[in-house]
Structure 1
Amino acid sequence: MTTSKGPLDGVVVLDLSRVLAGPWATQVLADLGARVIKIERPGAGDDTRQWGPPFTTQSNGARGDAAYFMAANRNKRSVTVDMARPEGAGLIRRLAMKADVVVENFKTGGLAKYGLDYAALSAVNPRLVYASITGFGQDGPLKDKAGYDYMIQAMGGLMSITGQPDGAPGAEPMKVGVAVVDLFTGLYTANAVLAALLDARATGQGQHIDVALFDVQVAMLANQATNFFVSGEAPTRMGNAHPNLAPYQPFATTDGAVVIAVGNDGQFRALCRAIGADDLAADARFTTNAQRVEHRAELVQALAPFLALRSTDGWIETLEAHGVPCGPINTIDRVFAEPQGVHRGLIVGQDRADLAERVQTVASPMRLSKTPVSYRWAPPALGADTEAVLGEELGLTPQEVAALRGDGVL
């Protein structure tokens, strides 16, 4: 656990989100030092607390929270409040009056009935930055449609370019192995919040941020979208090949595969020298990247026999010595055993009083030299901070908190 103050020290974030996109955004802000108050349903909490196995183990041997929940909720304080109760909505409203940021991912307009929508909260806190995450945005014909990462990967085009090409074994559209739309949405939301905070500090006025998973997925198409704009042809699945570069894919070795990522003509010539195939560098079909892409099948057929002669580690040593970008296809256990990963400290270990084991999460990749990220609290137990937060932020006494809890509000 580290306690250094981050660049967002003093910023209060009221987190009304659950599952992944919203919690990922607020965890980014929390890692940067913001004080994040996570509002959860009494008795149930964030849905992902139950998204297992695997589950953590409590000190008494009982089942704890799911590993999924742990991935996106460190550095937060958990407060249980039933917003469906007028008293509960009132408490959240009072917290929002003191907050700098609210992040929520209810359906479009879903918080208005509780008086917790942007219009209601900005009226009592004009400097509030209020971020709404939905499947399809605050307007448009699909604004009321629920959105989940998997379906957005499909609707947003990502699955149409992911997977083996038609005619190859196992050919079908594939989703990515993690919920990339949720994760990108969290990152875009955090960026938007930071920009809005700068403006709010300068003007004294907050604003409403509208982030849609569908919009984010389409933005993620990046070069594949512009490939379509320029060519007029929709990109298709290419397996592990790259639409704009060659060779840029895995090649079989004696004990697995090595990924080769040639990004320019000089690297291709270096590859040819490294594998003892200088004649390929002089082949008119392969001298430029555009030619290599055009003759991709012949290029792969020419390179494959050379690369099949040695082990993955053997080729990586040789290719790196020649300045050719390359790497192994690591399983996740090997990722954290990589010397570079060990050196960079990519595993964060934190203690939580009710759990038998330390909570391990992946370290933030943001390395700030002056105001580094900090790891202050493990992902919280459900409602663990209710009394403390309501006392600190709203001045409620332990007796008042106990009464609210007895009434089912907390």
Structure 2
Amino acid sequence: MQNSNGKLPLQDIKVIDFSQILAGPFCTMLLADMGADVIKIEKPNGGDDTRRYGPPFIEGESAAFLTLNRNKRSIVLDLKSEQGLAIVRHMLEDADVMIHNFRPGVVDRMGLAFEDVSALNPAIVYCTVSGFGTTGPYSSRAGFDLVAQGMSGLMSINGFPDSPPAKVGVPMADLNTGMFCAYGILTAYINRLVTGKGQHVDASLIESGIAYTLYESATYFATGEVAGPLGSAHRMIAPYQAFATQDGYINIGAANQNNWERMCRAVGREDLLDDERFASNPERMVSIDALTPIMEETFRTQTTDHWVKTLEKAGVPCGPIYNMKQVYADPHVQSREMAVPLEHPKAGSIRNIGVPVKLSDTPGSVRTPAPLLGQHSDEVLTEFGYEDTDVTAFKDAGVLG
């Protein structure tokens, strides 16, 4: 999309990013896509652990790191040295946002806890990313996506009935936490525009997982019933699931009565409209075990492409199930610019996921590839007022790795 005035919506926000792996970097990627100046503070001897995730590697660069860290700048600082911490404190005095996912207690030992940083800069928005939050009996535990998916209930409702526990295919707890962090940071920043005061944003993997169990929690609160896995089926509406076809699968979204009736007519099953078991959604849910094999038998008679064209013509929501190659070959995905070409100084020509939220006047964009380790150390330090002689001294002392 074209930017009508050349200004990115968050370009005046400076973010000091100590996070690594996924949840924090996903948050700062979202902010950077919208123009925030994200300065990624990396440790010596390898930087963000995601740089070593893989395979695949592209000319020595992790594909995972390349995806998550576009539009950011990298500086290496030894935070075990007092000089490195002094540089960080100086940077934080002029920052709008700080985000970290250090293990519990680490920021306290470094003098970078919220109370310490807000004393330096009362207007700063300070975001902590953790497994279990900064309070509560589990606050000292380390957290990972898999653990959070299990303890948030997500793994208990994923997969098929009678199958072993299965995590969601993508790191859902991590990604949700990154999204909630971005939401919390921007909410706190808007409040700061009114009050002039920053605050602490506390986001955790377990709570981000729980927050997405909307139907399952609602059912439990209302009835005490504990939900289990349903495969691709929906918990409250039918038919709303994947069905096998002659050559693959198709997702059917007959989520209301009109779509149910259109679907029956389109696939030549008008007889189902006279079946009292399927008269309305409540009846269809009660009779789902009877309805599913009927629909499976029907859809197996033709190819996925045949059914997609037939149902689209009838106005019934549906779609094929793509693998990743098919996703990026789809003309609609291409038209929405969801695969963006970039030139990386080591990896050469690469592609990255496009910006999924389109703003009409000040759209975000993928502008620069993920940085090399410490690529912007000199540049960033100069911007924060350090002289060339200072930077040289930092290098000689090993502060910059």
State how far apart, in whole Å, the 2-side matches of 1:299 and 1:307 are: 12
Q: Please list the CA deviations of residues 180-202 of structure 1 after superposition, one character each: whole Å capped at 9, or x if unmatched.
A: 11111011100111111111111
Counterpart of 1:143 in structure 2 is: 139
State how far apart, in whole Å, the 2-side matches of 1:13 and 1:408 are: 24
Give the aligned residue type for 1:31.
D
Counterpart of 1:364 in structure 2 is: 355
Checking the alignment, whether the CA contact within 8 Å between 2:215 and 2:235 is kept in structure 1 is no
| Mapping of residues 275-286 of structure 1, within 5 Å | 275-286=267-278
Does residue 407 in structure 1 map to residue 371 in structure 2?
no
Counterpart of 2:205 in structure 1 is: 213
Counterpart of 2:55 in structure 1 is: 53
Give the aligned residue type for 1:72.
L
State how far apart, in whole Å, the 2-side matches of 1:55 and 1:223 are: 39
Counterpart of 1:60 in structure 2 is: none
| Mapping of residues 387-406 of structure 1, within 5 Å | 387-393=378-384, 395-406=385-396
Counterpart of 2:291 in structure 1 is: 299
Q: Please list the CA deviations of residues 52-111 of structure 1 after superposition, one character each: whole Å capped at 9, or x if unmatched.
A: 100111xxxxxx221111121111000000111100011111111110000111123321
Counterpart of 1:65 in structure 2 is: 61
State how far apart, in whole Å, the 2-side matches of 1:192 and 1:273 are: 47
TM-score normalised by length of structure 1: 0.95
Q: Please list the CA deviations of residues 139-195 of structure 1 after superposition, one character each: whole Å capped at 9, or x if unmatched.
A: 1110000010011101110000001101xxxx1111111111111101110011111
Checking the alignment, whether the CA contact within 8 Å between 1:2 and 1:375 is kept in structure 2 is no
Question: SS where residue 285 of structure 1 aligns?
Answer: helix
Give the aligned residue type for 2:105.
G
1:38 is displaced (CA, Å) by 0.3
Counterpart of 2:232 in structure 1 is: 240
| Mapping of residues 316-355 of structure 1, within 5 Å | 316-355=308-347
State how far apart, in whole Å, the 1-side matches of 2:376 and 2:225 are: 54
| Mapping of residues 2-401 of structure 1, within 5 Å | 4-57=6-59, 64-166=60-162, 171-355=163-347, 357-393=348-384, 395-401=385-391
State how far apart, in whole Å, the 2-side matches of 1:329 and 1:272 are: 21
Give the aligned residue type for 2:369.
A
Checking the alignment, whether the CA contact within 8 Å between 2:104 and 2:142 is kept in structure 1 is no
Question: SS where residue 220 of structure 1 aligns?
Answer: coil
1:2 is displaced (CA, Å) by 9.2
1:403 is displaced (CA, Å) by 2.1
1:360 is displaced (CA, Å) by 1.5
Q: Please list the CA deviations of residues 297-342 of structure 1 after superposition, one character each: whole Å capped at 9, or x if unmatched.
A: 1111222222111000010000111111111110001000011001
Checking the alignment, whether the CA contact within 8 Å between 2:251 and 2:319 is kept in structure 1 is yes
State how far apart, in whole Å, the 2-side matches of 1:406 and 1:52 are: 33
Question: SS where residue 351 of structure 1 aligns?
Answer: strand
State how far apart, in whole Å, the 2-side matches of 1:359 and 1:122 are: 40
Question: SS where residue 12 of structure 2 aligns?
Answer: coil
State how far apart, in whole Å, the 2-side matches of 1:249 and 1:223 are: 16
Checking the alignment, whether the CA contact within 8 Å between 2:34 and 2:363 is kept in structure 1 is yes
Checking the alignment, whether the CA contact within 8 Å between 1:251 and 1:304 is kept in structure 2 is yes
1:351 is displaced (CA, Å) by 1.4
Checking the alignment, whether the CA contact within 8 Å between 2:19 and 2:101 is kept in structure 1 is yes
Give the aligned residue type for 2:134.
Q
* Equivalences, count: 398
Give the aligned residue type for 1:6.
L
State how far apart, in whole Å, the 2-side matches of 1:140 and 1:107 are: 15
Checking the alignment, whether the CA contact within 8 Å between 2:128 and 2:203 is kept in structure 1 is yes
1:359 is displaced (CA, Å) by 2.8
Checking the alignment, whether the CA contact within 8 Å between 1:350 and 1:358 is kept in structure 2 is yes
Question: SS where residue 14 of structure 1 aligns?
Answer: strand
Give the aligned residue type for 1:164.
F
Question: SS where residue 187 of structure 2 aligns?
Answer: helix
Give the aligned residue type for 2:178.
G
Deviates more, 1:39-48 or 1:368-377: 368-377
**Percent identity of equivalent pairs:** 41
Question: SS where residue 71 of structure 1 aligns?
Answer: helix
State how far apart, in whole Å, the 1-side matches of 2:2 and 2:318 are: 35
1:408 is displaced (CA, Å) by 1.3
Question: SS where residue 243 of structure 1 aligns?
Answer: coil
Question: SS where residue 231 of structure 2 aligns?
Answer: coil
Structure 1, gaps ≥5 residues long:
58-63
Give the aligned residue type for 1:157.
G
Counterpart of 1:61 in structure 2 is: none
Checking the alignment, whether the CA contact within 8 Å between 1:150 and 1:179 is kept in structure 2 is yes
1:277–1:2: structure 2 CA closer, same or farther, 3 Å change rule? Answer: closer
State how far apart, in whole Å, the 1-side matches of 2:389 and 2:375 are: 16
TM-score normalised by length of structure 2: 0.97
State how far apart, in whole Å, the 1-side matches of 2:259 and 2:273 are: 10
Question: SS where residue 390 of structure 1 aligns?
Answer: helix
State how far apart, in whole Å, the 2-side matches of 1:6 and 1:214 are: 33
